[in-house]
Every structure is written in C-alpha cells, then in structure tokens.
Amino acid sequence: MAETYLKDKSSKIYIAGHNGMVGSAIMRKLTAEGFTNIITRSSKELNLINQVAVNDFFEEEKPEYVFFAAAKVGGIVANNTYRGEFLYDNLMIQSNVIESSRKFGVKKLMFLGSSCIYPKMAPQPLKEEYLLTGELEPTNEPYAIAKIAGIKMCDAYRAQYGCNYISVMPTNLYGYNDNYHPQNSHVLPALIRRFDEAKNNNAKEVVIWGTGTPKREFLFADDLADACYFLMQNYNEAGLVNIGCGEDISIKDLSLMIKEIVGYVGELNFDHSKPDGTPRKLMDVNTLTQLGWKYRTELQDGLKLTYENFKALILSK
C-alpha cells in the first residue's frame, strides 16, 4: 500500500517563509484544514542563509513536512539590480533547508520555484519539459538559476538518498500580504499601488513600463496554497509540476482592469523606453489538471479582494 501524506492533523509542519504572500496562504490553508502543529520562524528569528542556525533549528524541531516558500524575491528592477544577492541568498537558503531536511528525517518537502525558470523564448504554453532548453530572460537570470538548482537538488536527493522532495512552479501570484514596495514589487501589486496613489493625488496619468503587450498569467495565492496542499497529499515524483490557471492577460488589459477596480479616472501612458521582460509566460497546467486540481478564483474577483487587502495594509501603517 502506498504511503499517505498529510492525513494526520497533528503532523509537525514547517512553513519556511510564513510571513510572505505564499507562506501565509499555505498557513491559512493548513489551519482551515485543521492542522494544529505548524512551526514558523520569522527571518529575524531564523536566518536561513546561516547553515549552522538552520541545522540547529531542524535538529531541535524535527518537522515531518516542509513547505519551502522562503526566498529573496522581487520584480524586474530588484532582480536586475541585486544580481549577486539574488543568486547567493537563494542558493544558500534552499541548500541549507534541503540538506537539513535530509539530515533530520523530513518525510516530505515541497520546493516552490517560479515560472521564470523557463527559457525566455520557450514555446507557449510552458510545459515542464521545456526546462533547460534555452537561454533565460537576462533581467532575472540569477534568481532563475538559483531556482533551477533547487529543483535539481531535490531530484538529486531523491535519486541518492530516497528523499520524497517535490518541486512546484507557480505562475505569477497575487493576493493577501503581497509586496507593494515602489521599487521591489512585481507588476500586479506595483500597478495596484500606482493606481491607488494616482487616484488619491488626482494625477492626470499613470505611467506604465513597457508597451503593455506582454502577456502574463496570474493566480490568486490562496488557490496556489490549495494546489500545494493537494500535491503534498497526491504527488510523489521527480521533476516539477506547473501551478497556474492556464489563462493569461496582456499588461494593458490588466492595467485597465485594475484601473476600474481602484476607481481611477485618468489616462494610461505606456513608456516604451522601459523593458517589457519576457513576451509571454503562460503555464501548461495539463499535469495538474490530470491529477484532478483546478483553480477557483477568477482574476477580477481576486483583484477586488487584493485591493481591499492593500487598503487595509496601508491604513494599518
């Protein structure tokens, strides 16, 4: 009989990165499912770059399961500016957590990557087998290389040590507890902040980087958490699984949708001198669909929830 996972509600589960958008969504999901033994540490309490500290934490706590959602993340500007940090920090964080998981007997680990691991000009939609078949998008290459190394490390540990470590590649995410930093945020939260500020300041226009033609796929973070929980129970293979909705939207149409939700009445101005990034990033989600999972939250509904959360975050500061 095949081993079952995450059936015991008292299982000891470590969520790495629980304060972030993805980690907090996984925490909400596990709590809603009735799990009572969830371990967390903030980055101030546990520096995942520090090998000794990570080793000591795993030796003390000995979690049975790990949802590995911790990473140094950011948008085009941050990725391109802090190239050394993005490569070093992410390599160290994931190496320490994966190795300590092996040393101290973690039953199953989920490594969360990013759709930026795929080649810049890969055919669309992006299939799992397109990994390492072409050149990466230059602006986020260091982050992508770190995440690819994480996938391969999980596979290597499975091959050598028999570790049941799985890798999932979420599409672009949005939702509660997103990062709205003016320089270091991703496109969707950056647009929400920009339109909200323009509305409050009665600005005549909002300037948006690039041409508006690139297309992006967006998944509500709570839907991702649902998929992660599903896969931790039902998927035990090497390689990776894409997590997305299988639909995309142009940056221009996304901007118009956010503009309407925020209630901004000015004009849009696309700055063609700024980079577009990858032309299109749509995930092929056939593997996930065939396993029996599908997203629930439509983009417009998710954006309304996210904007309400953004306003609450702003008022709390």
Domain extent listing, the chain:
13-178+217-246+281-297
d(CA 150, CA 141) in angstroms, rounded, equals 14
126 marked as binding residue: no
Is the model's pLDDT at 73 over the cut of 90?
Answer: no
Tell me the mean pLDDT in the region 27-40: 98
Q: Helix or strand or coil: residue 241? A: strand
Is the model's pLDDT at 276 over the cut of 70?
Answer: yes
113 marked as binding residue: yes
Task: List the structure tokens of 125.
Answer: 């939609």
Question: Which one from 143, 229, 235, 264 is the annotated catalytic residue?
Answer: 143
23 marked as binding residue: yes
**pLDDT-derived band at 250, boundaries 50, 70, 90:** very high
**pLDDT-derived band at 2, boundaries 50, 70, 90:** low
Tell me the mean pLDDT in the region 192-221: 95
Is the model's pLDDT at 1 over the cut of 50?
Answer: no
For the chain, percent of residues with pLDDT exceeding 70:
97
Q: Helix or strand or coil: residue 172? A: strand
d(CA 289, CA 302) in angstroms, rounded, equals 21
Tell me the mean pLDDT in the region 117-144: 93
- Domain 13-178+217-246+281-297: CATH superfamily is NAD(P)-binding Rossmann-like Domain (3.40.50.720)
**pLDDT-derived band at 269, boundaries 50, 70, 90:** very high
Tell me the mean pLDDT in the region 264-292: 91
d(CA 204, CA 269) in angstroms, rounded, equals 10
Predicted confidence at residue 75, as pLDDT, reads 67
Is the model's pLDDT at 144 over the cut of 60?
Answer: yes
Predicted confidence at residue 186, as pLDDT, reads 79
Task: Select from 20, 313, 25 the least CA-distant residue to 192.
Answer: 313
211 and 275 Cβ atoms separated by less than 8 Å: no
239 marked as binding residue: no
**pLDDT-derived band at 184, boundaries 50, 70, 90:** low
| Residues written for the chain | 317
Question: Can 143 be counted among the known catalytic residues?
Answer: yes
272 marked as binding residue: no
Is the model's pLDDT at 57 over the cut of 90?
Answer: yes
210 and 277 Cβ atoms separated by less than 8 Å: yes
**135: exposed, middle or buried (Cβ count in 10 Å: 0-12, 13-18, 19+):** exposed
20 marked as binding residue: yes
Residues near 122 by Cβ (< 8 Å), separated by ≥ 6? 130, 133, 134
211 marked as binding residue: no
The answer to which of 28-37, 100-109, 279-288 has the lowest mean pLDDT is: 279-288
232 marked as binding residue: no
Quick count: other Cβ atoms within 10 Å of Cβ 84? 8
